Amino acid sequence: MSNPQDTIFAKIIRREIPAEIVYEDELAIAFKDVNPQAPVHLLVIPKQPIAMLSDAESEDHRLMGHLLLTVKRVAEQAGLTNGYRVVINTGEDGGQTVYHLHLHILGGRSMQWPPG
């Protein structure tokens, strides 16, 4: 598993590579996905380097709640008044490719179920 300190998202947090950042606070940052799968595709990530959801600990409960409330805030800010989908790909079977925890916000079109 790659070190979350060294992921592309850690570099975005440190402003070492550019991203279209739409929200930031002391715990989290949100930016546009570089490979959008919907008209609106944003990523919300913690600044703390947690590799994946299954690595989160019980002492991270405040941060985890904050991330969900940040999703709500960012989705509202993006004008997703008709709903949206939140996805956390976790590990190999979950299709995770970047090993820094991130919540996808997908919106601006009607989503299908089940996902592939």
Is position 102 annotated as part of the catalytic site? Answer: yes
Q: Does 13 bind ligand DGP (CB under 6 A)?
A: no
Burial per residue of 10-44, b for 16 or more beta-carbon CB atoms within 10 angstroms, e otherwise: bebbeeeeebeebeeeeebbbbebeeeebebbbbb
Q: Does 8 bind ligand DGP (CB under 6 A)?
A: yes
Nearer to ligand DGP, 54 or 59 (CB): 54
Nearer to ligand DGP, 35 or 112 (CB): 35
Stretch 17-36: interaction string toward ligand DGP, x if CB under 6 A: --x-----------xxxxx-
Cα 65 from Cα 71, distance rounded (Å): 10
Q: Does 95 bind ligand DGP (CB under 6 A)?
A: yes
